Chains A and B, each alone.
Chain A
């Protein structure tokens, strides 16, 4: 299976690049696997930067009357932390996995539009660089990651202009990537792979792409309105001239709540792949899990205003009930995962540890979200550290734990090398303990009345001890990341020695060499279920690539 050879005479303005190694090959690649790796590396760099910003925040709040940052710097740091972790780390890290794995999992050579795929990556990377050029060009965004009007429209610094433009640019990348991956899944599945034979990770990916396609236009419109208000004196969000600042909240959260599921559904897909492998059982209730995913996707567009209960401008009963209902399909998934583990022959290599840790942390993060769905409680807890703890429970305990599980699970496939189990376990336990210390105390801080975005607090507030515990936990998270970096460096210095299927796994990506060849597969096993590699192994037939 060769690439198309184009005659020299037919080549364009410059000779077409042919390098297969070195920096130039990465700059010019259209291979989904290399693009996936580039997404992953870029996202991880942003993760480190966003993590350092988190340490600045926690250091500032370690003691009362913190002086490390002034109020304006603090606003910039927490805003950039939020933007970075959501738009420049979790989303692109999910893109990394989708790019690398979806074509392999569905038995395709590449994505439907390989050049568009590379374009998406470069636009994302340039958007991220643009956002991070803001501190050097007049000031970083300072209005929070949700940029509420009228603060975002009236702030005189240039930061929120960078915010609007940067998110428009990264939104272009996400839209192109979403269309590409959706078309790939719909059109390029291998023979025999019906929709209900797709691996759960691919299902989650497909629903995420639809959420992106439907939700990104909404925030793009809102960002253009914000830009117009800031630069050309329009009044979309100015109530003194007939505008409405609540409109921004509607538009932002109509995008923002599906965005929560854009961030968490990849995690659900990862655990739905990891848990069956290390439970040595098929996924319990595969069809229910898929249907629950579709329902979550649909429901996610109906709960946006639970972020706006305190505005007094939304129908409380409707959005409260809708918020309770959306917990049901997520609960179904929990039963899927517990049922998968129940009675299984469990083993606990590092990816499985992250998966089990996720069950514990995401459950607490999710349940505290249901509490916030009750308007009377939300009125009390809105914009407090309780909310901060809740969404970090979902996004760190959910998405970030999943992404680490995915890296430990698929690293052998991507590189032919396995990450150290000892360092991986040190990494996991540091994070589990660090996370618990950092965020569980924040529930109490919120209940005690500490509001989010406070740059400092007085000593008589009684919040000092809990803040000190939280900051200690944040530093444990930071130092706990070092074993992971060491494991990656050590693994990459070793020769590739991993077989095609080191975990005895289920889906098609394990039916080709580690790392896969440029064309992905020489042949694939027959697809008769959602576990073709498992089926082939059980039938005693040779699995291609193994």
Chain B
């Protein structure tokens, strides 16, 4: 007998497995312990995993309607039926073309990290760390967003126009 989800990608089956596991365990747990909090947590895990599975199944159906799998990627992994071609249907194709990007060095992560760490201290240690942290956070975020925007513009010359 063929299971209804046997043809699904491994990612989907992975989440379905978690969903089934947490659901079954939640039922057993309830009848053994009659304890609400643990049952609710297990039920939550089952629901969250089930929701992700449902989303993946739906996305796959929609993608199949829109376009077939790029043959160049599928051909590289045809000797096993479970070989998806890497990634999510070839979202990242680092060695089939050279268009991927590596970001420039930037101070933004350090500045944002410093900002977040200082702002978290604020409620206990007063306004001073929040003020310094906010400046660092905003400056870092500004650098971060500019870097991302500039890279996008440099990669796609028309992007800037479209954005406007």
Q: How far is the CB of B49 from chain A (nearest CB, A)?
A: 10
Q: Mark B76-102, 1 if CB is under 8 A from A, else 0.
A: 110110111111101111111010111
Task: Report the minimum CB–CB distance from A218 to chain B (whole Å).
Answer: 9
Select one of A19, A195, A227 contacting B10, CB under 8 A.
A195
Closest to A6 in B: B150
**Chain A residues close to B by CB (< 8 Å):** 1, 3-7, 10-14, 16-20, 25, 27-31, 107-110, 114-123, 126-127, 130, 161, 165, 168-169, 172-173, 186-197, 214, 227, 231, 250, 254, 294, 298, 301-302, 314-315, 317-318, 518-519, 521, 523-524, 526-528
- Interface, chain B (partner A; CB < 8 A): 10-11, 14, 17-18, 21-22, 25, 28-29, 32-33, 35, 37, 41-42, 45, 73, 76-77, 79-80, 82-88, 90-96, 98, 100-110, 112-114, 116-117, 120-121, 123-124, 139, 142-144, 146-148, 150-151, 153-155
- A192: B residues at CB distance < 8 A: 76-77, 83, 85-86
- A4-B155, A526-B76 in contact; A126/B32 too (CB < 8 A)? no
Complex CA distance for A31 and B109, rounded to whole angstroms:
12
**Are B86 and A189 touching (Cβ within 8 A)?**
yes
CB distance from A316 to the nearest CB of B (A): 10
With both beta carbons as reference points, the residue of chain A lying nearest to B78 in the complex is identified as A192
- Asked if A294 contacts B94 (CB within 8 A), the reply is no
Given contacts A6-B151, A298-B21, A301-B41, 18 further A-B contacts (CB under 8 A): A4-B102, A6-B154, A13-B142, A16-B104, A17-B104, A28-B110, A114-B103, A118-B109, A168-B120, A186-B11, A191-B85, A192-B77, A194-B10, A196-B82, A301-B22, A318-B33, A521-B94, A527-B86
Q: Does A30 lie within 8 Å of B117, measured CB to CB?
A: no
Q: Is the CB of A115 within 8 A of B109?
A: yes
CA gap between A315 and B33 in the complex, in Å:
6
Q: List 18 A-B contacts (CB under 8 A).
A: A1-B100, A10-B154, A16-B147, A20-B105, A27-B110, A108-B92, A115-B109, A118-B113, A123-B117, A130-B117, A191-B77, A192-B77, A192-B86, A194-B10, A194-B85, A195-B82, A301-B45, A315-B35
Q: How far is the CB of A168 from chain B (nearest CB, A)?
A: 6
**Is A122 a contact partner of B106 (Cβ separation < 8 A)?**
no
Cα of A524 to Cα of B155 in the assembled complex, Å: 24
Query: With A191-B90, A298-B22, A315-B35 as given contacts, are A523 and B95 in contact (CB-CB < 8 Å)?
Result: yes
Number of A-B contacts (CB under 8 A): 209
**Beyond A16-B106, A109-B102, is A194–B94 a contact (Cβ under 8 Å)?**
no
Q: Which residues of B contact A165 (CB under 8 A)?
A: 120-121, 124
